[in-house]
Copies of this chain bind each other. A is one copy, B any other.
């Protein structure tokens, strides 16, 4: 490796490690404020290095960019490992968050909080890890809050062709206007006033507190 590609190795590995989709060299170069050609070279070297050293993962160039994968040689172990995962079912809190996301997607954490009345950060993180929801973009109008949507695995689990096949919420709500009202409210709440910077004050995210504000 040249000095420059050597320098790029650490940051590139870190970015590729956390990425959940292929990333192209241009985007990586932009984040690292580096020359795209250098980045491309560093990626190829890294890919070779993983292969030569027989590491547990590999770096592959696929449609859309570069992504780390586990090495196929170890697949039997991984299968056995995944099969051994804890079968604990979702908590009530997680189910609630999942239900809200399924019906209101794409929705920000703030939006889920607003409907559930409590902070939903931890459950959302666990739903992402379980592959039931995923980040789907940013809400430009709400401080770039991350938006969440359900995954294909979610659809498959319930045998749904697409989201339009979700049973209409109205069937379960006493008031047919409720859903629309909530959607409007969610949109309003997602506005800049409920930007995600506020999340550290979780104590205040409390339903009762909201009620006082509403009343006064």
Count how many chain A residues have C-beta atoms less than 8 Å from C-beta atoms of the other chain. Answer: 63
Considering the complex, give the chain B residue whose CB is closest to the CB of A28: B81
B-chain residues with CB within 8 Å of residue A200 when the two chains form the complex: 89-91
* Residue among A27, A68, A89, A121 with max Cβ neighbours from chain B (10 Å): A121
A71 touches B202 (CB 8 A): no
Contact of A18 with B202 in the complex, beta carbons under 8 Å? no
Cα distance A32–B119 when bound, in Å?
40
Q: Is the CB of A91 within 8 A of B203?
A: yes
A118 nearest CB neighbor, chain B only: B129
Q: Is the CB of A126 within 8 A of B203?
A: yes
- Distance in angstroms between the alpha carbons of A179 and B208 in the assembled complex: 40
Contact A74-B126, Cβ < 8 Å, known A86-B146, A199-B88 = no
**Pairwise interchain contact B90-A203, C-beta atoms closer than 8 A:** no
Q: Is A13 in contact with B81, judged by CB distance below 8 angstroms? A: no
Looking across the interface, which residue of chain B has its beta carbon closest to that of A200?
B89
Cβ of A2 < 8 Å from any Cβ of B? no
Contact A122 B129, CB 8 Å, known A11-B74, A17-B68, A203-B93: yes
Which of A49-57, A161-169, A181-189 lies on the face that meets chain B?
A49-57
Task: Point out the residues of chain B lying under 8 angstroms from A199, CB to CB.
Answer: 88-89
Task: Encode contact with B along A6-32: 1 for CB under 8 Å, 0 otherwise.
Answer: 000111111111111000000100011
> Per a CB cutoff under 8 Å, which of B119, B129, B197 touches A85?
B197
When the two chains form their complex, are residues A70 and B18 in contact, meaning their CB atoms are under 8 A apart?
yes
CA distance A135 to B83 in the complex (A): 11
CB interface residues, A 104-134, toward B, < 8 Å: 118-123, 125-126, 129-131
Contacts of A80 in B (CB 8 A): 31
CB distance from A89 to the nearest CB of B (A): 5
